[in-house]
Amino acid sequence: MHIRLINPNTTAGMTATIGEAAKRVAAPGTQTSASNPESGPVSIESHFDEAISAVGVLEEIMKGEREQVDAYIIACFGDPGLMAARELTRAPVIGIAEAAFHMATLISTRFSIVTTLGRTGIIAEHLLDNYGFSHHCRRVRAAEIPVLDLEDDSDAALVRIIDECKRARDEDNIGAIVLGCGGMADLTDTIAEAVGLPIVEGVTAAVKLSEALLGLGLGTSKHGDLAFPRSKTFTGSFAALSHQAFPLK
Amino acid sequence: MHIRLINPNTTAGMTATIGEAAKRVAAPGTQTSASNPESGPVSIESHFDEAISAVGVLEEIMKGEREQVDAYIIACFGDPGLMAARELTRAPVIGIAEAAFHMATLISTRFSIVTTLGRTGIIAEHLLDNYGFSHHCRRVRAAEIPVLDLEDDSDAALVRIIDECKRARDEDNIGAIVLGCGGMADLTDTIAEAVGLPIVEGVTAAVKLSEALLGLGLGTSKHGDLAFPRSKTFTGSFAALSHQAFPLK
Amino acid sequence: MHIRLINPNTTAGMTATIGEAAKRVAAPGTQTSASNPESGPVSIESHFDEAISAVGVLEEIMKGEREQVDAYIIACFGDPGLMAARELTRAPVIGIAEAAFHMATLISTRFSIVTTLGRTGIIAEHLLDNYGFSHHCRRVRAAEIPVLDLEDDSDAALVRIIDECKRARDEDNIGAIVLGCGGMADLTDTIAEAVGLPIVEGVTAAVKLSEALLGLGLGTSKHGDLAFPRSKTFTGSFAALSHQAFPLK
Amino acid sequence: MHIRLINPNTTAGMTATIGEAAKRVAAPGTQTSASNPESGPVSIESHFDEAISAVGVLEEIMKGEREQVDAYIIACFGDPGLMAARELTRAPVIGIAEAAFHMATLISTRFSIVTTLGRTGIIAEHLLDNYGFSHHCRRVRAAEIPVLDLEDDSDAALVRIIDECKRARDEDNIGAIVLGCGGMADLTDTIAEAVGLPIVEGVTAAVKLSEALLGLGLGTSKHGDLAFPRSKTFTGSFAALSHQAFPLK
Amino acid sequence: MHIRLINPNTTAGMTATIGEAAKRVAAPGTQTSASNPESGPVSIESHFDEAISAVGVLEEIMKGEREQVDAYIIACFGDPGLMAARELTRAPVIGIAEAAFHMATLISTRFSIVTTLGRTGIIAEHLLDNYGFSHHCRRVRAAEIPVLDLEDDSDAALVRIIDECKRARDEDNIGAIVLGCGGMADLTDTIAEAVGLPIVEGVTAAVKLSEALLGLGLGTSKHGDLAFPRSKTFTGSFAALSHQAFPLK
Amino acid sequence: MHIRLINPNTTAGMTATIGEAAKRVAAPGTQTSASNPESGPVSIESHFDEAISAVGVLEEIMKGEREQVDAYIIACFGDPGLMAARELTRAPVIGIAEAAFHMATLISTRFSIVTTLGRTGIIAEHLLDNYGFSHHCRRVRAAEIPVLDLEDDSDAALVRIIDECKRARDEDNIGAIVLGCGGMADLTDTIAEAVGLPIVEGVTAAVKLSEALLGLGLGTSKHGDLAFPRSKTFTGSFAALSHQAFPLK
């Protein structure tokens, strides 16, 4: 059972963080590997970054298909390219935002999200709506730290995240907190200890959900709107995608 | 890691079916056991049956707490007593309806439910609303078979379920089907083969979700509205619950 | 016309309070009586208390059916056992939470709820969702008093309730307040006078709604999903329910 | 206790029908009277008819205020002028659509509406949304009869209504039917007998809800957005409304 | 192309303000004219004012139909009489509240509304629900100024509006502000300059949306529920509407 | 005033069709131009095609920024890259799906969509949810024609579209139909004539909405979550985006 974690940004340090977080929670029989696209933004902090990163995510899925990967995780909290990725494979594909939301609703009736920058809050709001979890989330909060500070200035970032989590705990009438960035994957235990209520982190949640689906023999439905894309011509820098028949082998 | 499957009805044969289904999907390190209350209805086909069965579910949770069970599954599609059960323990508690809904949304954009009797469809509708999945479910369908026919007349029941699943597949514009009764847990593979699109079954889904939560170190939040119940007096036949301090040991 | 008020907890003093509140508003031709189960919690402050109390509520309904009661009120703000109770009878069955919500929407565009403990707020939130009134309720507030303080320390409790109602009045942009506990039934007038906007209390509201339905010749629909439960075997301490044919006589 | 039924259209025969239906269900101590505006459409079958009729409704409310009426019913299924009417008085004001919806949800989990013309279905849909009952209504159906046929060709109209109600019963998976026109108030019993499931009619429902509110001492909140209108100048044919101070005496 | 702006209140000064605002944004080929009913309230600050004003709006529409006006704008933020007005004509009819909401969602993900009096906030809330924009609006705010102060004490009014807009900008996590009164149409630029984020005003928005629809050859659908009203008898002061066949000529 | 229509697919014929449709409705003072990315799919019929096409859309926006284009239209019915595109510019950016939805709600109370392939229906459903128009759309229908058939086999395609539109008209209880593909832009009049109710087409709708916003001086808000993206490093084939400061010049 091989689960591939795709870090949609191109910062290798963050890919490593995500890969290690995955390994820590993977079951004995589970192989995990982490990758990131060659091309794309070093961090994802806007709709623009997200749209560009989706291309890399899809390339990583196609690479994984050729390597017969069994499940994929999109390890950025906006779940960039999720629907498109699902079309490319029979394997399960899980976004870390959805993973965290699902898990949070299983252990609490209401949760809050603590993310990096306020400007990305709208992305979380849209996902909550799409996935059906708007009523379960009391508030989307931001620690107002750029994503790469999680790498470059991690101590200061941790302090701000913990402070915001404590405000969530004390003001939001919640049972759990969802961490809103894949780059926080290595901070979960520290935050949980400092804050004292369940902290749900998406990378690790997605690993376990992938194992769960694989254990059930379930993968992305190819019946209906997530069927493989129709083969067709692509032009220019995307010409390599032309006449690609799916599933890839 | 010990997961207890609680069959809320008192039909031992169905408990065995559920227990075996759980074993089939459990990970190597996972111990599963199945139980049912001593007292309660032999099948659950109404709000009334469900309300009575909740008492037995809670007793089974308390029994499990004394045995230091690590996670609980409520193996009836109405998720009877779920919120109350969560209050009694730090362990995860998962209903099979919610488990199936969560899994179905991870592999398809829209699903339908095929349940036993039409009259219980409203229970599924209410759960979809509460959990946030109304928009993901196209239709709640019933094969119109009494629950115990799954035990007593299983061949005929299977035919009707498969027929209804095929209608769902052909008419509902869906990617997956959720089976709406714990008693169908042993039929999943047969149905999936006959119908040809992903069939999500709640008992097995809940086992994997329990493993997932335990693997993350997550349990029911004791912060806020799922905290342990306040200790108090109970009268009459429930006197044994009086002054019970939680967590149980 | 005989309306039975069922106090789902087993505190006789609260049953008396509820019974007296009912008498005060009952129409000349209306007979009211109040009862509580023999068995169950002395107060209801959690999902657990609520689940246990539902059994007693259903027993009281069955008792009432043998006495040919004409309508039932479930006098706890979580409306425990409401759907199940409706299955057992052709008579109307009304929960005090729903009764209060209905009435509040007829005299205001938006209301707030003032309940006892913050932890039970989630129960009110779920009911608002199920009944369709989420948009009409601005806020669920708690006076943070245990239910039995309404009996045992009623002066202090009253002060806290009035204070919270005043905050609702001044901060919530509302036209009415719903009292969130059956035990507040005798305080309505005092609170209304102190707060100066309409106070809607569920016990009294439910009495008048019961009279209204009975006056229209309307009772619980036996067509579809609220039909009488199917007769079946119950085991153990619930064996007396076995092979019970409904309607009871 | 004096309840005034306002028929928003100007067809005296329909006013009489409504008045008689009200009398049939009124409690012993309740005085009912029915009126209609002098000016307005003879039937209400469009948004346009409804907007014009609202003026007459408001005039009837003001007339009622001078006569010290205790409660008002707006006896047209679109509830025309309801919010405006509530501003003019401390008395309860109830629309027959909302009354029927409230009652239907107390005796069933899902209902359908059978109205006169298909083109007015959108009015019912908007009301269901505004009141919070969209999820409780399975379908809005029309018998496709002009409103005045209920007066002028009542036998044929009755047949069509019953036929449509039977279709609702057999196809819609419901527990009750709401009649979607005040002019059907005298047909309720006949329809109920023919169709065999609870038929909820708004005029009679509103009478009983008015009695209920009055019995509780509740009237329209004057706190917040339903407070009396600010006194001001009106011009032209509405000049008589100028500088009107409320409450009227 | 002739667009008629109907000011639903009868204050000529405000009609002039609205007419000038329209002229300022109208395209070269667009003729605009502004009118107000002869009869009705001098300002609209309640459901009551709104219901009365709807009659005048409809009369202005009928007058316009005889003059072969090409599109209509209802220039009061409650969009009074909108649905009824649409029934009377094949021309587009646009309310300024809906116009502003549509435009605001095209340039921002979330907006707030700044209206005149808090008591009319509920009207905006209802419109947001009906039009589908509740999720896009963070907050309905009021500057707490009577509508006519916009005419009579405009400097003080402007200060209060700008102050409230700044609070919205700083506290509401929004990208744009919708002005909630037609009487603010001449203040838009001043407010925008003072506040520094996009200010969407409904009168001007509606002019451009009218041009847009006319440019597409689109008008109010006469298929289905916005078809011309059925011809019928009206009585009393509305007798002139009797047997009116639509479209008017 | 220069409006750039971006055809997200790379089929020049379709770009021409879109460009001509735009010219037909553009106001005298409006300059329109149509472009398509060099790189990308020749048609967009899946989430995958859409994700890839978003890159080209964003490149076209950046190209437009350097040319000082005044407004942008994303001329594919899935509105690919819309949020990201808005971040890159102060100009308005409008998707043709949203444009059509907005216009349809201004002339009807309910509409249906007729799109190309059934598998893309989910994209329309998600957009309806995100934009707030789910309640206004009765049904998403597909003519089941591949997008390029609109170019290559346009007569047969037209017949199927008209047939599906007629079914929508006759079965869906609607007032208008939204065409669900930019490639249908030249067919609008023919379809409207054949079907006999208002047909709303997104390309033309978006042109007029762009003119409307520009006429109001409104552009994408740079306050909050649509602010220009933070400058940062991009790697690999996207390296040219590195350290790009916005706004572009």
Chain B: partners with 3+ C-beta pairs within 8 Å: A, C, D, F
D111, containing H or E segment: strand D111-115
Q: How far is CA B39 from CA A219, B35, B55, C245, F246, in A?
A: 39, 12, 9, 19, 69
Range B20-41 average pLDDT: 97
Report the length, in residues, of chain B.
249
Q: What is the percent of chain C with per-residue pLDDT over 70, rounded to a whole number?
A: 100
Average pLDDT of C78-96?
98
Same domain, F188 and F235: no
Alpha-carbon distance of B158 to B164, in angstroms, equals 10
The pairing of beta strand B40-41 with beta strand C234-235: antiparallel
In tens, the pLDDT along D37-74 reads 999 999 999 999 999 999 999 999 999 999 999 999 99
Domain CATH code at residue A120: 3.40.50.12500
In the Cβ-directed half-sphere of C236, how many Cα atoms lie within 13 Å? 16
The whole-chain average pLDDT of chain E stands at 96
Question: Same domain for D122 and D160?
Answer: yes
DSSP E99-110: HHHHHHHHH-S-
Q: What is the mean pLDDT of residues C187-214?
A: 97
Residues F85 and F101 in one domain: no
Four-residue CA torsion sign, B52, B54, B59, B64: positive
Tell me if E110 and A122 make a contact (CB, 8 A cut-off).
yes
Minimal CA separation from D50 to chain E, in Å: 8
DSSP state letter for E241: G
Helices (H) then strands (E): counts for chain B: 9, 10
Q: In whole angstroms, what is the distance from residue E108 CA to residue F225 CA?
A: 8
What is the rounded distance in angstroms from the CA atom of residue A86 to the CA atom of residue A109? Answer: 29
Closest-approach residue (CA) in chain C for B148: C232
State whether C229 and B87 contact (CB < 8 Å): no
User: To which H or E segment does residue D94 belong?
Assistant: strand D93-95
Nearest CA in chain E to A142: E173
Tokens of D67: 């006569």
A135 in reach of chain C (CB within 8 A): yes
Residue of F nearest to E172 (CA): F224
Phi and psi angles of residue D113, each rounded to the nearest 5 degrees, phi first: -110, 135
Nearest CA among D71, D68, D93, D92 for reference residue D82:
D93
Minimal CA separation from F20 to chain E, in Å: 14
Return the structure tokens found at C2.
Answer: 């005989």
State the chains in contact with E (3 or more Cβ–Cβ pairs under 8 Å).
A, C, D, F
Minimal-distance CA residue of chain B relative to C229: B46
Per the CB < 8 Å rule, is A212 touching B213? no
D156 lies within 8 A of chain C by CB: no
For position B150, what pLDDT does the model report? 84
Q: Find the residue in E nearest to D131 (Cα).
A: E126
Chains D and C touch, using 3 or more CB pairs below 8 Å: yes
Residue pairs spanning B and C at CB distance below 8 A: 144
* Residue C86 near chain B (CB below 8 Å): yes
Looking at the fold, whether E148 and E187 belong to one and the same domain comes out as yes
F in contact with B (at least 3 C-beta pairs within 8 A): yes
CB-CB neighbours of E240 under 10 Å = 9
pLDDT for C96: 98
Q: Does A132 touch chain E (CB under 8 A)?
A: no
Where are the alpha helices (H) located in chain B, listed in sequence order? 12-25, 47-66, 82-87, 96-107, 121-131, 149-152, 154-171, 188-195, 202-215
> Would you say residue E249 lies in a domain?
no
Q: Which residues of A touch F81 (CB under 8 A)?
A: 51
> For residue D120, what are its two tokens?
């007015």
Task: Say which residues have a Cβ less than 8 Å from residue B195's Cβ, sequence separation at least 6.
Answer: B162, B165, B166, B169, B177
Average pLDDT, chain A: 96
Q: Choose the weakest-confidence range: A93-97, B154-158, B173-177, D15-19.
A: B154-158
Q: Rg of the Cα trace of chain A?
A: 18
Identify whether residues C50 and C40 lie together within a single domain: yes
The chain-wide mean pLDDT, for chain F, equals 96
Q: Is B132 on the interface with D (CB under 8 A)?
A: no
Question: Residue D121 and residue F173: Cα distance in Å, rounded?
Answer: 10
Q: Which positions ≥6 away from D241 have C-beta within 8 Å? A: D234, E41, E52
Q: For residue E79, is pLDDT > 80? A: yes
| Contact between chains at D122 and F135 (C-beta distance less than 8 A) | no
pLDDT over threshold 90, residue C44: yes
Q: Which helix (H) or strand (E) holds A19?
A: helix A12-25
Residue C6's pLDDT band (boundaries 50, 70, 90)?
very high
pLDDT band (50, 70, 90) for residue B147? confident
Cα–Cα distance, F50 to F54 (Å, whole number): 6
The DSSP line for C64-131 is HHHTT-SEEEE-STT-TTHHHHHHT-SS-EEEHHHHHHHHHHHH-S-EEEEES-GGGHHHHHHHHHHH
Instruction: Clarify whether residues B60 and B24 are in a common domain.
Output: yes
**Mean pLDDT score, C71-77:** 98
Instruction: Point out the least confidently predicted range of A3-12, B16-25, C163-172, D140-149.
Output: D140-149
Residue of chain C whose alpha carbon sits nearest to that of B48: C84
To the nearest whole percent, how much of chain A has pLDDT over 70?
100
Q: In chain D, what residues touch C224 (CB-CB under 8 Å)?
A: 108-110, 173-175
Is position E46 within any domain? yes
Look at residue C247 and tell me if it is in a domain. Answer: no
Per-residue pLDDT at B152: 83
- The verdict on a CB contact (< 8 Å) between A110 and C121 is no
Verify that B111 and B29 share a domain, yes or no.
Answer: no
Q: Which domain holds residue F44?
A: 2-95+205-241
For residue E59, give both structure tokens. 């009369």
Sign of CA dihedral C194, C198, C200, C204: positive
Are residues B73 and B128 located together in one domain of the fold? no
List, for chain F, all residue ranges whose pLDDT scores fall below the cut of 70. Answer: none
Average pLDDT of the residues in B43-61: 97
Comparing CB atoms, the residue among E47, E225, E234 nearest residue D122 is E225
Residue E31, SS3? strand
Question: Torsion-angle region of residue B165: left (phi > 0), alpha (psi -120 to 50) or beta?
Answer: alpha
Band (E146; pLDDT cuts 50, 70, 90): confident
Neighbours of F206 (CB within 10 A): 35
Under 8 Å between Cβ of D131 and D96: no
DSSP B237: G
The packing angle between helices F47-66 and A47-66, to 10°, is: 140
Would you state the structure tokens that stand for residue E65, as one six-digit string? 């139909």
pLDDT at residue number C147: 82
Q: What is the pLDDT of residues F199-229, one digit of tens each?
A: 999 999 999 999 999 999 999 999 999 999 9
Question: What Å distances lie between residue C211 and C16, C189, D72, F112, CA to CA?
Answer: 20, 21, 19, 44
For residues A57 and A38, what is the distance between their CA atoms, to the nearest angstrom? 10
Segment E164-187 mean pLDDT: 96
F134 touches chain A (CB under 8 A): no
DSSP-derived pairing of the beta strands B137-142 and B111-115: parallel
Confidence category of residue E148, pLDDT binned at 50, 70, 90: confident
Q: Using an 8 Å Cβ cutoff, are F40 and F56 in contact?
A: yes
Domain assignment present for F247? no
Confidence at D153, pLDDT banded by 50, 70, 90:
confident
Do the domain assignments include residue C150? yes
From the list D118, D126, D230, the residue facing E46 with the nearest CB is D230
Nearest alpha carbon to residue D71 among D18, D157, D1: D1
The whole-number pLDDT of residue C148 equals 86
Q: In what order do the strands lie in the sheet with C71-74?
A: C31-35, C2-6, C71-74, C93-95
B122 CB within 8 Å of a chain D CB: yes
CB B100 within 8 A of CB B127: no
Q: Is residue B249 part of a domain?
A: no
| One domain, residues A215 and A229 | yes
- Residue F150 has what pLDDT? 84
Q: In the 3-class helix/strand/coil scheme, how is A154-208 assigned residue by residue?
A: HHHHHHHHHHHHHHHHHHCCCCEEEEECHHHCCCHHHHHHHHCCCEEEHHHHHHH
Give residue B53's pLDDT band: very low, low, confident or very high (50, 70, 90).
Answer: very high
For residues E8 and E73, give the distance between their C-alpha atoms in angstroms, rounded to a whole number: 10
Assess contact for E247 and E228: CB atoms under 8 A.
yes
| Residue B71, pLDDT above cutoff 90 | yes
Structure tokens at A91: 């394997």
- D87, pLDDT greater than 80: yes
Q: A43-68: per-residue pLDDT in tens?
A: 999 999 999 999 999 999 999 999 99
Tell me whether residues B129 and D135 touch, CB distance under 8 A. Answer: yes
Which range has the worst mean pLDDT, B130-134, D143-147, F98-102? D143-147
CA dihedral C77, C81, C84, C85 (to 10 degrees): -70
Q: If you average pLDDT over every residue of chain C, what do you get?
A: 96
pLDDT in tens, A8-49: 999 999 999 999 999 999 999 999 999 999 999 999 999 999
Q: Do B123 and B159 sit in the same domain of this protein? A: yes
Q: How many folded domains does chain F comprise? A: 2
ipTM of the complex: 0.97
Scanning every residue of chain F, which has its alpha carbon at the shortest distance from the alpha carbon of D129? F135
Instruction: With residue C235 as reference, give the H or E element that holds it.
Output: strand C234-235
- Residue B248 CA to residue A131 CA, distance in Å, equals 36
Query: Residue E147 has what pLDDT?
Result: 83
Contact B173 F118 (CB under 8 A): yes
C-beta atoms of E173 and A121 within 8 A: yes
Same domain, A209 and A195: no
Q: In the structure, do chain C and chain F come into contact, i.e. share 3 or more CB pairs under 8 Å?
A: no
How does pLDDT run across E115-127, given as a tens digit for each residue? 999 999 999 999 9
Contact B62, B88 (CB under 8 A): yes
Secondary structure class of D200 (helix, strand, coil): strand
Instruction: Encode pLDDT of B200-215 as tens digits.
Output: 999 999 999 999 999 9
Residue F240: strand, helix, or coil: helix
Cα C7 to the chain's mean position, in Å? 8
F232/A83 touch (CB, cutoff 8 Å), yes or no: no
| Res E249 pLDDT > 80 | no
Any idea which residue has 């591949």 for tokens? F146
Of C119, A79, A185, A123, the C-alpha closest to F47 is A79
* Residue C91 domain flag: yes
The predicted pLDDT at position D90 comes to 98
What is the residue-averaged pLDDT of chain B? Answer: 96
Compute the mean pLDDT over every residue in chain D, rounded to the nearest whole number.
96
Contacts of B169 in chain A (CB under 8 A): 223
Q: Is F112 in the same domain as F198?
A: yes
**Structure confidence at residue A100 (pLDDT):** 98
Instruction: Find how far residue B116's CA is from the centre of its chain.
Output: 14
Q: Which residue of D has its CA nearest to E125?
A: D130
Note whether residue D247 is domain-resident.
Answer: no
Residue C237 has pLDDT above 80, yes or no: yes
Give pLDDT, residue A166.
Answer: 98
Which helix (H) or strand (E) is A13 found in, with range? helix A12-25
